Copies of this chain bind each other. A is one copy, B any other.
Amino acid sequence: MPNAAVSTDDRSFLYGDGLFETLLALEGRVLWPELHLDRLMLGCERLGIPGQRAAAEELLASLEIGEPAAVLRLSLSRGSGPRGYAPPEFSEPVLRLTQHSAPALPADSRVDVVLSPVNVAAQPLLAGIKHCNRLEQVLAAQDARARGAGEALMTTGDGEVQCAISANVFAVSGRTLITPPVDRAGVAGTRRRLVLERLARQVGLDTEVTSLRVDRCRRADALILTNSVHGIRAVRRLDDTDFPGANDAVHALQGAYMQEVRRCLGS
Contacts from A to B (Cβ < 8 Å)? 3, 5-17, 20, 22, 47-48, 71, 73, 75, 77, 82-87, 96, 98, 100, 118-119, 121-123, 125-126, 131-142, 144-145, 165-166
Known: A5-B7, A8-B6, A85-B165. A132 touches B14 (CB 8 A): yes
A15 proximity list for chain B (CB < 8 A): 16, 132-135, 137-138
Known: A85-B166, A145-B86. A17 touches B96 (CB 8 A): no
CA of A10 to CA of B62, assembled, Å: 24
Number of copies of this kind of chain in the complex: 2
In the complex, the answer to whether B71 meets A83 with C-beta atoms within 8 Å is yes
In the complex, the answer to whether B141 meets A85 with C-beta atoms within 8 Å is yes
For A10, give its contact among B6, B73, B166 (CB under 8 Å). B6
A135 proximity list for chain B (CB < 8 A): 15-17, 47, 126, 131-133
Q: Provide 21 A-B residue pairs closer than 8 Å at the C-beta atoms, listed in order of the A residue.
A: A6-B10, A8-B98, A15-B132, A15-B133, A15-B134, A15-B135, A47-B138, A71-B83, A83-B98, A83-B100, A84-B166, A85-B138, A85-B165, A86-B138, A86-B144, A87-B141, A119-B125, A121-B122, A125-B136, A133-B134, A133-B135
In the complex, the answer to whether A8 meets B75 with C-beta atoms within 8 Å is yes
Of A14, A87, A122, chain B has the most CB atoms within 10 Å of the CB of A14
Q: Which residue of B lies closest to A78 (CB)?
A: B138
Q: Which residue of B lies closest to A121 (CB)?
A: B121
Determine how close the nearest CB of chain B comes to the CB of A13; give it in whole angstroms: 5
Of A77, A118, A123, A134, chain B has the most CB atoms within 10 Å of the CB of A123
In the complex, the answer to whether A10 meets B8 with C-beta atoms within 8 Å is no
A119 proximity list for chain B (CB < 8 A): 123, 125
In the complex, the answer to whether A14 meets B5 with C-beta atoms within 8 Å is no
A84 proximity list for chain B (CB < 8 A): 141, 166
For A6, give its contact among B13, B16, B86 (CB under 8 Å). B13
For A133, give its contact among B71, B98, B133 (CB under 8 Å). B133
User: 20 more A-B contacts (CB under 8 A) besides A5-B7, A121-B122?
Assistant: A5-B5, A8-B96, A9-B98, A12-B13, A13-B77, A14-B73, A15-B138, A16-B16, A47-B135, A47-B138, A48-B142, A84-B141, A85-B138, A85-B140, A85-B141, A86-B142, A86-B145, A126-B135, A126-B136, A133-B134
Q: Which residue of B lies closest to A73 (CB)?
A: B83
CA of A87 to CA of B14, assembled, Å: 18
A47 proximity list for chain B (CB < 8 A): 135, 138-139
